Amino acid sequence: MPEQIAAARSDARALAHAIYHRLQDAYGAPTWRPQYAPMDELVLTFLSQSTSDLNSGRAFGALKARYPTWPAALNAPVEELAETIRSGGLARQKAPRIQAALRRILAERGEFRIDFLADLPVDEGLRWLTSFAGIGPKTASIVLLFCFDKPAFPVDTHVARVSRRLGIASPKDSEQKIKGIWEALTPAAWYYPLHLNLIRHGRQVCHARAPQCGACVLNDVCRYADKT
Out of 64, 94, 138, 179, the active site residue is 138
Q: What single letter denotes the amino acid at residue 46?
A: F
User: Which among 71, 95, 72 has a CA at the least distance from the CA of 84?
Assistant: 95
Reply yes or no on whether 94 is catalytic.
Answer: no
Which residues form the catalytic set?
138
